[in-house]
Amino acid sequence: MNTHPSTPDHLIRKYNIAGPRYTSYPAVPSWKEDSLDESKWKEKVKSTFDATNTVNGISLYIHLPFCESLCTYCGCNTRITINHSVELPYIQSLLKEWQLYLEVFQEIPHISEIHLGGGTPTFFSPENLQLLIEGIKKSAWVKAEASLSFEAHPNNTTEHHLRVLYDLGFRRMSLGIQDFDLAVQKIVHRIQTYETVHHVVSKAREIGYTSINFDLIYGLPLQSVRTIRDTFQKVAKLRPDRIAYYSYAHVPWVKPGQRSFTESDLPQEAEKRALYELGKSMLADLDYHEIGMDHFALKTDELYVAANNHRLHRNFMGYTTLKSDLVIGLGASSIGDTGAAYGQNVKKVETYKDLVTQGKLPVYRGHFLSKDEQVIRKHISNLMCQFETTVDQKEDQMLLDFVIDKLSELCKDDLVTVDKNQVKVMPVGRAFVRNICMAFDKPYWSTTVNTRSFSKTI
């Protein structure tokens, strides 16, 4: 049996504080460039492209923001509409933005990864998704080992979607399940039956998809030990290749849709952690293995293989087996990453479309990383992907001294060990990996941070 250590309640109470999820470092609320200069962003993109295009290739994240209804737990940038006439103009804007990046590249890009996120990518018709992907491919070379994936809503993902995307090279699909209990689904406005999910999963496997992910959330309103147990029993029947099991981030001051329920509807700290422990225990019994933070995979999944071979990487799209130094974000609110800089697109769809029509890259804010920040980012990525990192004693002694001091309390609680210059997360400490990463966050977390920008770490 695949066992795991339980998390002591007193440690949860001690360390469950507000903190970044570290999908980027520095975390977005700490970015310094409130107004990003387009020419400087182009310089960063071109520099990284020239250095890495023919080596690792580039990754594309394409944000498709439209949804037919609002899932009230959601923290993504979405546009709610049932008017599907918005599809084609938005696709055309995405292709215009892609053309602007091609002018920056000045060479044929080698694509190693494409991810369609949202919003709801399957809001778009198969024909419009085909128009988008073929429009990108005709001016690029997609590497043979490239990973193409998309997020899908079970209620509007048709067999036609699955076949068209498969024929375009997509082999990975992620379904937002969250919880199978009807009462929980109703209160968060995300109703989808087990039968619907079963149909989509079965059809995808029949067509030939090799990796299916389920997104599940603990800490949602009305969740209980009973609903989590029932959800994972259903998950066991469907047996996805990988599972993301996230903590619900309750930030109604950021996402007003979360005000449709109150904090009294939410499982409180000890109860919430019990939901996680139950889910994690059931995953272990089903032979899912912990891969980085909040992610679990079967031994047959490429994420598990990559983690075991120390080839796991992490970017804004999540965990990946492919290392790409340049991530290009297309679409409203998308974030790009050059390794030395981040750039985020404007969030409003109309403003986004206007800018690309004018021939301007729609970036509006970002952050240029200092050399020290790039070093810290490397260590945080190592902890998130491998649960360990090694600090160069000659080059980073000041950082090591700072980290050792900040980790002292975590070491006393046996969550992490520091042996000379190696920092290693203990099995029970994996639940606290965000807290451990915060010890490295010297430029930001050691100073005043607006904690209301972040959810709780556990």
CATH topology of domain 371-458: Arc Repressor Mutant, subunit A (1.10.10)
Domain segments of the chain as ranges: 9-328, 371-458
Confidence at residue 227, expressed as pLDDT on a 0 to 100 scale: 96
Reported as a pLDDT band with limits 50, 70 and 90, residue 1 is very low
Name the least confident of 88-102, 255-269, 317-331, 440-454: 440-454
Say what the pTM is: 0.91
Superfamily the domain 9-328 falls into: tm_1862 like domain (3.80.30.20)
Does 87 score more than 70 pLDDT? yes
Does 182 score more than 50 pLDDT? yes
Contacts of 139-145 with CB under 8 Å at 24 or more apart are 139/98, 139/99, 139/102, 139/108, 139/109, 140/108, 140/109, 140/110, 140/111, 141/108, 141/109, 141/110, 141/111, 142/111, 142/114, 142/169, 143/57, 143/110, 143/111, 143/112, 145/112, 145/322
Best CA proximity match to 278, nearest among 222, 233, 319, 212: 233
Confidence at residue 449, expressed as pLDDT on a 0 to 100 scale: 52
Highest mean predicted confidence (pLDDT) among 5-9, 16-20, 38-42, 443-447:
38-42
Residue 444 neighbours by CB under 8 Å, 6+ apart: 26, 27, 30
Does 446 score more than 60 pLDDT? no
At 285, list the tokens: 């019994």
Reported as a pLDDT band with limits 50, 70 and 90, residue 258 is low
DSSP string, 89-132: HHHHHHHHHHHHHHHHH-S--EEEEEEEEES-GGGS-HHHHHHH
Does 173 score more than 90 pLDDT? yes
Reported as a pLDDT band with limits 50, 70 and 90, residue 448 is very low
Share of the chain above pLDDT 90, in %: 68
Cα gap 434→16, rounded to integer Å: 10
Cα gap 429→414, rounded to integer Å: 7
Which whole number is the average pLDDT over 315-332? 91
Residues 200-228 as b or e (16 or more Cβ within 10 Å = b): bbebbeeeebebbbbbbbbbbbbbbeebb
Which whole number is the average pLDDT over 92-96? 98
Does 254 score more than 70 pLDDT? no
* More confident call, 400 vs 278: 278
Which whole number is the average pLDDT over 212-234? 96
What is the pLDDT of the chain when averaged over all its residues?
90
